[in-house]
Amino acid sequence: MEAAASIKRNVTTVVGDVSRLEDLDRLYAVVKEKHGHIDVLFANAGAGTIAPLAVATEAHFDQTFDVNVKGLFFTVQKALPLFKDGGSIILNSSVSNVLGLPGFTAYAASKAAVRNFSRGWTLELKDRHIRVNCVSPGAIDTPALATTTGLTAEQAEQAVAQFTTQIPMGRRGFPEEIAAAVAFLASDESSYITGVDLAVDGGMAQV
């Protein structure tokens, strides 16, 4: 809501839970009524908390996969009737899809599923000339590490320091840098790019 208020024009907000299919139906009913069609979809909703294997619960596992896998899958599926041929779909994955991160195994597995969605959907949607790509952020400077992972403020600071030592560029990324990558994949400048996983991670998972 705050983001929409700051943009002020050409924005419609719909509050919902991507893991609830009725909420997705309501979302796309609004899109159809107000805009008629979709040119670009960025499937960005995600969830992840730290839960080592020995203590992870069924509730933790289900929440992670309900949002990151089920929610994303049906977000894309239910958008297709409104999607224009030649459009662009961008899926938010993570560099964790290729890394071993203790405590984040369910999250990493869910993001690996997202990466594989992009591969399969690239082929399924090729006759409609719809491009499907992933963007995979690394460690990004947002409050999420402290507010959604279950870490204390001190633990979050320690995790940031540890992550930073693994990043060749020596810092966390900024949200604006992820936005720039998404805008590129949404634009005609990436018209010959499909099926890729664009890592925006300062080299964290590349070396």
**3 state SS of 129:** coil
pLDDT of residue 77: 99
In a domain, 76, yes or no: yes
pLDDT of residue 69: 98
Does residue 2 register a pLDDT over 80? Answer: no
Q: Let me know if residue 11 belongs to a domain.
A: no
Tell whether 176 is covered by a domain.
yes
Is 181 among the domain residues? Answer: yes
Model confidence pLDDT, tens digit, residues 141-167: 887 666 666 667 777 778 778 878 889
Residue 182 lies in a domain: yes
pLDDT in tens, 164-189: 888 999 999 999 999 999 999 999 99
Query: Would you please indicate which residues are annotated as catalytic (active-site) residues?
Result: 107
Q: Of all residues in the chain, what percent carry a pLDDT higher than 90? A: 74
Q: Would you state the pLDDT for residue 198?
A: 98
Tokens, residue 165: 């030592």
Query: How deeply is 102 buried, as exposed, middle or buried, from its count of CB atoms within 10 A (0-12, 13-18, 19+)?
Result: exposed
Crossing angle (nearest 10°) for helices 72-79 and 21-34: 30
Q: Is 95 part of a structural domain of the chain?
A: yes
Average pLDDT estimate for 122-128: 99
- Whether 13 shows a pLDDT value over 70: the answer reads yes
At 154 the pLDDT is: 79
Residue 181 domain boundaries: 39-200
In a domain, 7, yes or no: no
Say if CB 199 and CB 138 are below 8 A apart: yes
In three-state secondary structure terms, 93 is: coil
Output the six-digit token pair for 49: 């908390």
**pLDDT (tens digit, 9 = 90+) per residue, 100-118?**
888 889 999 999 999 999 9
pLDDT value at position 150? 64
Tally of structural domains, the chain: 1
Q: 90: which strand partners?
A: 42, 133
Q: d(Cα 15, Cα 64) in Å, to the nearest integer?
A: 19
CA atoms within 13 A of residue 11's CA, in its CB half-sphere: 11
Q: Is residue 34 part of a domain?
A: no
* Beta strands, E only, 23-164: 38-43, 83-92, 131-137
How far is residue 108 CA from its own chain's centroid?
12
Q: What confidence category does residue 88 fall into, taking pLDDT thresholds of 50, 70 and 90?
A: very high
Q: What is the 3-state secondary structure (H, E, C) of 131-152?
A: EEEEEEECCECCCHHHHCCCCC
Global model pTM greater than 0.75 = yes
Condensed to tens digits (0 to 9), the pLDDT of residues 38-52 reads 999 999 999 888 889
Comparing 165 with 131, the larger pLDDT belongs to: 131
CATH code, 55: 3.40.50.720
Mean pLDDT of the chain: 92
